[in-house]
Amino acid sequence: MFVGDVVGSPGRRALELLLPVLRERHRVDFAVVNGENSAGGLGITEKTAGQIFAAGADAITLGNHVWKHREVYDYLDRDPRIVRPANYPKGNPGRGATVVEGPGGLRLGVVNLSGQLFMGAARSPFSEVDSVLAELRDRATHVLVDFHAEATSEKVAMGWHLAGRVTACVGTHTHVPTADARVLPGGTAYITDVGMTGPHGGVIGANREPAVRGFVTQMPQKLGTSEEDPGLNGVVVEAGEDGRAISIEQLLVPA
């Protein structure tokens, strides 16, 4: 199971409420959660990461807000269950890929990448993922890639780049779920964007009124995290022992 960007305390509460139930219902072996907006809507802290793990996550992926809270830098180096985009500058805190152990000797490789279109990244996510996969080859039975990117074109291209090479390639960052979940040839589950776990009554997580006023007046606004209409967006991927995906099901669950 993969859960889309957890936004602020409404997102953490929705995750705490729903992840245990959904793990049970779908007999989930691994739950990976994008936590890059879990602390006040931007970034992550050791505390919010701890809450995501306590809710039932096996691994956490991140994105462009990874460096927002300084206190997390040391934690990113210490906890092997959390990954930030692999194609960020070398030498920065944290790691871009990890392997987590599951039931029956299953080992899930978890890779985090950032897009380059309308976003900053040090290196191309396409060549980066090739070298990361070469390094994971003998260490993981299954591989999930979280491609944290803005542009649908770049994400669709990554899906095709990885088709037949990983178990799942899921998109994050826009907070809006797309309706294109499918298994690509070669057994790679794909979706352009999983969506968000948080308040769907705002504007991609922010309070509705100031966000709308910002667009209307084109003046800066103090946004804050919305509390309205919380829910979980995710996907469940079923895969064989050969690491190939059989199905992908979209989850859009109100909290």
Q: What residue ranges bind Fe ion (CB under 5 A)?
A: 63-64, 173
* Residue 65 among the catalytic residues: yes
Contact indicator for 229, 221 with CB cutoff of 8 Å: no
Q: How far is the CB of 225 from Fe ion (least distance, A)?
A: 14
Contact indicator for 250, 237 with CB cutoff of 8 Å: no
Q: How far is the CB of 26 from Fe ion (least distance, A)?
A: 26
Taking Cα atoms as reference points, which of 55, 40, 46, 56 lies closest to residue 8?
Answer: 40
Q: Beta partners for 250?
A: 235
Q: How far is the CB of 65 from Fe ion (least distance, A)?
A: 6
Catalytic residue (one of 26, 65, 142, 173): 65
Taking Cα atoms as reference points, which of 228, 218, 237, 221 lies closest to residue 255?
Answer: 228
Q: Please tell me the chain's helix, strand, coil percentages from 3-state DSSP, rounded to the nearest 5.
A: 25, 30, 45
- Give 12 or 142: the residue with its C-beta nearer to Fe ion: 12
Q: How far is the CB of 173 from Fe ion (least distance, A)?
A: 4
Taking Cα atoms as reference points, which of 42, 30, 37 lies closest to residue 14?
Answer: 37
Contact indicator for 143, 135 with CB cutoff of 8 Å: no
- Give 117 or 246: the residue with its C-beta nearer to Fe ion: 117
- Give 204 or 236: the residue with its C-beta nearer to Fe ion: 204
- Give 13 or 173: the residue with its C-beta nearer to Fe ion: 173
- Give 51 or 114: the residue with its C-beta nearer to Fe ion: 114
Q: How far is the CB of 36 from Fe ion (least distance, A)?
A: 5
For residue 153, the SS3 value is helix
Query: How far is residue 100's CA from residue 103's CA, in Å, rounded to a whole number?
Result: 10
Sign of the dihedral defined by the CA atoms of residues 35, 14, 231, 191, in that order: positive
Q: Cα–Cα distances in Å, from 88 out to 66, 177, 248?
A: 10, 25, 29
Catalytic positions, written as ranges: 65
